[in-house]
Structure 1
């Protein structure tokens, strides 16, 4: 059975190098291999302690996989591993230019709530902004600029939340 105590972090748990850029196919394969080994059903006839350990490892594997699969969460996790905390609840400072863009998007969404074409155009713009921010996050993490990466993560969280609202508005019209 996989040994949780032998793992320093989510990356090493899956046998990966701790870095932003990763091969998601390798992550998927490592996750499936571990889940196959630790799935609680496989230990149904084991001792109570073995069942508990299997459940803990399966839960850890699920959490680790979700974190590493999502670029925002992976960036946040890498920053934390490198001693940079996001303080997301208390640090909401954003550059003025970013806030102005958020206000512009919000205004377009509010004013065009019934205009599918305008919302789809906005969705493409927001999607491009997300992709650009993920690329920037990757560059910052790869260079070890974790303080900058945290700022990018905060921006991505704003963009991601808005993108969900925008998708919901489009779905209502479609």
Structure 2
């Protein structure tokens, strides 16, 4: 079988992927390595089938998620994202993040559903813009280092969006 997630599914190692093709490839690989196909096989063959099945599922989970796919591409191209230790961000992004956090705090404290919706839309737009920038950096410019910086920012955006969803669910 293949060495990386993309080749496992016969896909080019690019950020832009066809989600339908990814799902079809995953189903094909899963059918070939599914442990049920090895019910009468030896214990070693069953164990290998289980390992390949788990690998196929993990690869699919990573590649179908845009942020996880971007992280994977950066890391496989030699960029250590240092997600636990490197919090350096562009000053403009840090200022914007502070504004979003303040808006979230104010909307949470006031219970203003309209403000929460507006922040949600703003974050969705920022995430879409971030995704487009990462795609450009990875696929067109082949600049995984710069893409890695944007991915770290995108991860902050995702955490903020998760907090917002929690607040919205509490207020629902």
The answer as to 2:25 corresponding to 1:30 is yes
For 2:70, what is the secondary structure of its paired residue?
helix
Report how far residue 59 of structure 1 moved: 0.7
Does structure 1 residue 152 correspond to structure 2 residue 147? no
* Residues 124-173 of structure 1: CA deviation (Å, up to 9, x unaligned): 00000000000000000011111110001001100001101101111111
Give distance in 2, aligned partners of 1:80 and 1:169: 32
- 1:51 pairs with 2:46: yes
Per the alignment, residue 87 of structure 1 pairs with: 82
4+ residue runs of structure 1 moved beyond 4 angstroms?
none
User: What is the number of equivalent residue pairs in this alignment?
Assistant: 169
Distance 1:41 1:173 in 2: 45
Deviates more, 1:24-33 or 1:37-46: 37-46
Alignment of 1:2-151 (within 5 A): 3=1, 7-113=2-108, 114-142=111-139, 143-151=141-149
Q: Give unpaired runs (5+ residues) of structure 2.
A: none
TM superposition shift of 1:8: 2.2
TM-score (norm 2): 0.95
Q: Please, which of 164, 167, 171 is the counterpart of residue 162 of structure 2?
A: 164
Once structures 1 and 2 are overlaid, which stretch shifts more, 130-139 or 106-115? 106-115
| Structure 1 residues without counterparts, runs of 5 or longer | none
Counterpart-to-counterpart distance in 1, 2:145 and 2:5: 21
- Could you say what secondary structure the match of 1:168 adopts? helix
Q: Tell me how far 1:41 sits from its aligned partner.
A: 2.0
Task: Output the aligned Cα RMSD.
Answer: 0.9
Shift of 1:36: 1.3
